[in-house]
Structure 1
Amino acid sequence: MLDIKFIRKNIDSVKEALKNRNAKVDVDAFVQLDEKRRELLAEAESLKAERNATSKLVGQLKKNGEDASEQMARMSTVNERIKALDSELKDIDEQSRQWLLSVPNMPHESTPIGNDETANPQVALWGEKPVMDFEPKEHWELGTKLGGLDFERSAKLAGSRFVVYRGWAARLERALAQFMLDVQTMENGYEECITPYMVNRATMTGTGQLPKFEEDLFKLENWDYFMIPTAEVPLTNLYSGEILPEDQMPMRFTAFTPCFRSEAGSYGKDTKGLIRQHQFHKVEMVRIEKPEDSYDALEEMRGHAESILQKLGLHYRVVSLCTGDIGFSATKTYDLEVWLPGQNAYREISSCSNCEDFQARRMNMRFRRNGAKKPEFPHTLNGSGLAVGRTFVAVVENYQQPDGSIVIPEILKPYMGGVEIIRPLS
């Protein structure tokens, strides 16, 4: 949520930023609403001052045995008007709150301006594309032929955009998650958490999924609970409504969770395979930082995500998302895109974002510096470390062999119980 004082002082820059984000937000409507609020508030305060003065006068008149009926009649009229004004102000405050909840974050000055993903500049490249002297297959074909991915039976169980991992595939998915958690906790200093996989409306609102993106979520019938689309939601909200001491900053959390997304509006896209599922696994990183440290933290978090790909020997590139492609709550985002030989394309495998104080303001999470009286809003950051299913895809496609087998990357062998190669079924 943006600071309402910032909006009032920077109307033109807010309009320009929202235009660059392709955000359809009526700023003028808010300005008119805010002006109306100020007018009503001024009238209400004037009438309340009059009421206080008249109340004292009535008391004095009665004490002196004088007639106070005229003043009392006026007070009755004033009270009715104050009641009406308070009701109208309450309605305007709720309208303003709903408007603020619908407004995305302001892009950082270093975020490139552009309409869509085609305007995302590449900022880094690591490794080289694997050279294959055969036609590489896509992961869903390899996984199916090797007996590890069962899309037919998952469709029977739950419908499209689900999968059953079996045997070696289930173990590889688990191995990847364990490997990622070990790196993020033992090497990079994140505290591992196991969080609820369903959260309430306030929690979803805190990180920005609600109210704008409710159609993208899975909601429980007869409960005002939602299945998490990412562990960013519960992890970032851990200290919502609290004031943290400065000594507790910064904070780093990681969690391995299933993620649930309706993929509304994506029908017809990536219908085969694991790229766009209703349920998938992800290792998430979340950081709560002092404002002056958050952009250094973003670069560090990006490096923590990249280290997973480097240890796996997977070629990737890093792009900086432009204003038209950046997420609702983010002010700056890096996407890591891994190379998939079977698809002959780069695909996103991690997003690392700085949300500055946007989410903290929504969830009223603050911190107080040592010796300071007034608390401040911290900056929140989140990043995938990594999307496990898409990393599975990358390993399968990049380590496939001409005979259809898959070699296990060296770093994963201890997590695979010594299994070094997945061979075709006889």
Structure 2
Amino acid sequence: MGIQGRSGIGRKPNETMRLIITTFVGVIFGFFVGVSYPTTSLRKFHFPSSLVPSIDLSYLEDRNLGLSAQAQSQPSRPSVTVQNQSSTDQAQNLNNTSKIWVPTNPRGAERLPPGIIHSESDFYLHRLWGKPSEDLTIKPKYLVTFTVGYDLRKNIDAAVKKFSEDFTILLFHYDGRTSEWDEFEWSKRAIHISARKQTKWWYAKRFLHPDIVAPYDYIFIWDEDLGVEHFNAEEYLKLVKKHGLEISQPGLEPNKGLTWQMTKRRGNSEVHKRTEEKPGWCGSPLLPPCAAYGLTVILTANAHQISDECYNSIAFVTLLEKMVALTGLGSGIGSDNDLVHGWGIDFAVRKCVEPAHEKIGVVDAQWIVHQSVPSLGNQGEAKDGKTPWQGVRERCKKEWTMFQGRMAAAEKKYYRELGIDPPNSTTR
């Protein structure tokens, strides 16, 4: 009996220690199980007040939220699980007919209903108050842009006055001076875009996207050195429509150092579409510069008739130095977006309309004078002993060669992919 008593007494401390350890482990395990559950679960349990003392549940929830946020900020396996779950939910949403998914919408807008997507915009100025439907007393049908420097502001003022309220006025400022133009009343209702030392086609490729200019019937892109004493925009458009011209320009004063016979004004006609060029200058009477040319100074066109393919691939490839108006404008997206001058594009624009020799022409009855102010050349930089003007002109020539090569290569590739021999058709 003494042995049994000593044995029983010896086991009590061990059992007590085991009970303490078990209880401690249970408490720790219960704690971690508790914090792993959502905080809202505490509110789902209703304990009798006699069994549970007053506990501040908001403290526990705030603490759990803090732990949850800390856990989410750490890179861990649960975060991967959440990401995978999100991908799964997205896939399920796409298969759920109650979710909007329109693949024909613009990229990034597939989840929007088609009725809220509009493919076109405009340059119409709106008020900050009142009803949107009452903002515009008149919607201009035409757009005219000027690439300008402040030094020739009087020239631009005279040109703007040749355009009625049916024209939206847009100024591209290559010298960064914009606020000074407010000395002219019309400038306060014009749109001003400024980027230093850029060409008209740099602006056009970026701000005259086809979706923006689509509401306008005709678009003029003007230089700043034009004499417009004998020009009237409304009368000009009447002749363009009368003779079915989709691409056109006013005739040029014939005594101002022109190169091409095609662009010279004729005093005995309203419009001409063909000419007799200098010997050896013309490969065909239906090709530039004998016909389908009309791009030396001003080019206008019907925006709704020139194809998207044309103004994306040709009309916005480069800048034609003396071209001042073009419609059917495009974004210029592509490898030719790096070309900013336009020598040679006048030989390619005939590809924009068919038949070109009937739909491109020069309007003789409304004519202008090209003053040949070297504002573009003055924006260059003197380098290697060359004046700013010489550097600009050299790049013009280089880009002409680059443009011809790219166009010829693109045409060959196109016909090669079709499995046919390319015709003898290049940019010139």
Q: Who wins on radius of gyration, i.e. which is larger?
A: 2
The structure with higher relative contact order (CA 8 Å, sep 6+) is 1
- Return the structure number with greater strand share: 1
Is TM > 0.5 for Structure 1 vs Structure 2? no
| TM-score, normalised with respect to structure 1 | 0.24
